């Protein structure tokens, strides 16, 4: 979708629709005041008769608005200015654009209040772009139709950033929304190669042979149950000084999780194409970081496997030797994400990172604990976790920290091997999984983000028709930007 800056007055812009946003309980000002004047005070009358209040994500459409060149005017509520943040900017504009995307429109224009910060405006544009990409990739009659051109009134820098963020969030969403038989380790890696080429990123793709030579026994064991060979993608972006330690982003890329021999029931399996959302989030973030030319060094690592079952699948009771040399007793083949990440985190250590973040749709237990909208944060370095938390807060992406008490680590001790891949029972599963990962980061500053809840929605939200959300792409970009500002 083409995004173009808009300099026309609200009355003059020739478009199929114009969206004019305003805060609740504020006098009409700027573009909306101009529209009201052209309409002979209609908007003021609507407010007087309590037909519109400007409350958060409220939409009111006026067709064939007199005095305007556009075919329709959409009034969008932003809610209370005091509680407004990037997440609300994103979702409100997403709601408006999703509403318009029900029809095939050519030109859609957005006017936000003139005094929004560039950060809020960029998040709003990102949301508008998100609202125009649906999960109906394979429907003949699309429910969501991107418009031909999105016109955006505002600062050129905000438009540049918002368009990049929207493009990257939508890349992540599309990768996750693709069916698992289309998106498997090799096809994901090919897309990563294309992204790397387009953005000038350095890329390395490890195939089965290389992974074997590198002794990635833990990742390879999971991959053995599938005829699709695994891949490990390593992307490097150098925007900071040569030799300065990079930020490492690690993503779980299980392109389909059947559970393996510990097979999932249908209800648990039907959304498991989303189990590569961690890797897709890392790829989306790497694209945005490179396009924004952030002054920081970042390496992205994506561990790609399919967790299926066949005659050679890994078994309960198997003992794996991870790349780090640690031995792992397998007691549940559905706890596969941590086995993949064990080796990818170890490869990440070769990059001598200053800090590590991993993203994974790791546990259902995290969703039980925090609900579907909130990611779980777990760490071995409180100061680093606080920086990740601050970034997620800035972006309006919900995250909440869970404890890493040593007792959770006791649960993954094994009688047979160094550790086992599940805790003592189902309770506290998000933390026992994180304790397992901690075994593979060698004390390097690390934060784990369990995105099992927020990465994928089964129902509808105001700003998305369901499917992949692209959650935490913006947070990763903000973490990298903050690193750049600090150096
Ligand atoms: N991919 C799942 C976790 C998941 C669940 C992601 C729901 C998204 C939505 C993961 O591989 C898994 O199966 N975890 C098990 C762990 C258990 C076997 C210790 C789980 O959560 O049940
Ligand atoms: Mn699993
Ligand atoms: Zn999984």
Q: 78, 24 in Cβ contact below 8 A? A: yes
Q: How many helices (H) and strands (E) does the chain have?
A: 16, 19
Q: Is residue 167 predicted with pLDDT exceeding 90?
A: yes
- Place 463 in a pLDDT band, splitting at 50, 70 and 90: confident
pTM: predicted TM-score of the whole model, two decimal places? 0.98
Q: 472, 281 in Cβ contact below 8 A? A: yes
Residues in contact with ligand 1 (CB, 6 Å cut-off): 257, 275, 332, 334-337, 361-365, 367, 422, 429, 452
Could you state, in order of their start, the residue ranges of all structural domains in the chain?
2-147, 170-486
Q: Is residue 1 predicted with pLDDT exceeding 90?
A: no
Q: What percent of the chain has pLDDT over 90?
A: 97
What's the rounded Cα separation, in Å, for the pair 20 and 18? 6
Does 334 belong to an annotated binding site? yes
- pLDDT tens, position by position, 364-385: 999 999 999 999 999 999 999 9
- pLDDT tens, position by position, 210-225: 999 999 999 999 999 9
The secondary structure of 145-203 as a DSSP string is ---SEEEEES-HHHHHHHHHHHHHHHHHHHHHHS-TTTSSHHHHHHHHHHHHHHHT-EE
Q: Which fold has domain 2-147?
A: 3.40.220
What is the chain's mean pLDDT, rounded?
A: 97
Region 132-142: mean pLDDT is 95
For residue 274, give the ligand 1 atom closest to its CA.
8
Angle at 102 between CA 127 and CA 80, to 5 degrees: 40
**Predicted local confidence at residue 465, as pLDDT:** 83
- pLDDT tens, position by position, 105-115: 999 999 999 99
Separation of CA 469 and ligand 1 centre (Å) = 18
Region 431-447: mean pLDDT is 98
| DSSP 3-state of 227 | coil
Find the helix or strand (DSSP H, E) in which 43 lies.
Answer: helix 42-48
**Predicted local confidence at residue 252, as pLDDT:** 99
Does 252 belong to an annotated binding site? yes
Q: Which fold has domain 170-486?
A: Aminopeptidase (3.40.630)
Separation of CA 366 and ligand 2 centre (Å) = 13
The token pair at 104 is 């095939």
What's the rounded Cα separation, in Å, for the pair 418 and 317? 13
Ligand nearest to the CA of 452: 1
Residue with CA closest to ligand 1 atom 8: 452
């Amino acid at each position: 979708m083409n995004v173009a800056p808009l300099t026309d007055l609200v009355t003059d812009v020739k478009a199929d629709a114009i969206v004019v946003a305003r805060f609740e309980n504020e006098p009409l000002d700027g573009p909306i005041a101009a529209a009201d004047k052209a309409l002979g005070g209609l908007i003021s009358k609507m407010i007087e008769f309590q037909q519109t209040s400007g409350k958060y994500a409220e939409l009111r459409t006026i067709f064939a608005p007199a005095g305007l060149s556009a075919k329709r005017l959409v009034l969008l509520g932003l809610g209370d200015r005091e509680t407004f943040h990037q997440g609300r900017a994103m979702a409100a504009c997403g709601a408006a654009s999703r509403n318009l995307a029900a029809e095939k429109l050519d030109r859609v224009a957005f006017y936000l209040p003139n005094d929004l910060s560039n950060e809020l405006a960029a998040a709003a544009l990102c949301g508008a772009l998100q609202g125009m990409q649906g999960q109906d990739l394979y429907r003949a009659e699309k429910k969501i139709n991107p418009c031909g051109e999105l016109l955006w009134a505002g600062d050129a820098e905000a438009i540049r950033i918002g368009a990049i963020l929207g493009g990257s969030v939508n890349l992540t969403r599309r990768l996750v929304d693709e069916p698992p038989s289309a998106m498997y380790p090799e096809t994901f890696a090919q897309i990563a190669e294309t992204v790397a080429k387009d953005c000038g990123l350095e890329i390395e793709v490890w195939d089965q042979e290389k992974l074997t030579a590198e002794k990635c026994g833990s990742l390879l064991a999971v991959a053995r149950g599938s005829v699709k060979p695994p891949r490990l993608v390593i992307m490097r972006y150098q925007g900071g000084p040569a030799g300065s330690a990079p930020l490492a982003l690690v993503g779980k890329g299980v392109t389909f999780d059947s559970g393996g021999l510990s097979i999932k029931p249908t209800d648990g399996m039907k959304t498991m194409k989303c189990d590569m959302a961690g890797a897709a989030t890392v790829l989306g973030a790497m694209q945005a970081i490179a396009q924004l030319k952030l002054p920081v060094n970042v390496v992205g690592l994506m561990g790609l496997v399919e967790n299926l079952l066949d005659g050679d699948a890994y078994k309960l009771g198997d003992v794996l030797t991870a790349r780090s040399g640690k031995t792992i007793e397998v007691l549940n083949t559905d706890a596969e994400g941590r086995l993949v990440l064990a080796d990818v985190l170890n490869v990440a250590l070769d990059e001598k990172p200053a800090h590590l973040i991993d993203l994974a749709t790791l546990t259902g237990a995290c969703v039980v604990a925090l609900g579907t909208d909130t990611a779980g944060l777990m760490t071995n370095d409180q100061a680093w976790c606080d920086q990740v938390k601050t970034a997620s807060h800035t972006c309006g992406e919900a995250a909440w920290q869970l404890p890493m008490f040593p007792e959770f680590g006791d649960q993954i001790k094994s009688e047979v091997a160094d550790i086992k891949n599940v805790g003592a029972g189902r309770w506290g599963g998000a933390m026992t999984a994180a304790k397992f990962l901690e075994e593979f980061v060698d004390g390097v500053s690390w934060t784990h983000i369990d995105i099992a809840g927020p990465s994928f929605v089964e129902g509808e939200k105001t700003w998305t028709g369901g499917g992949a959300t692209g959650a935490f792409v913006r947070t990763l970009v903000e973490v990298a930007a903050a690193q750049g500002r600090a150096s």
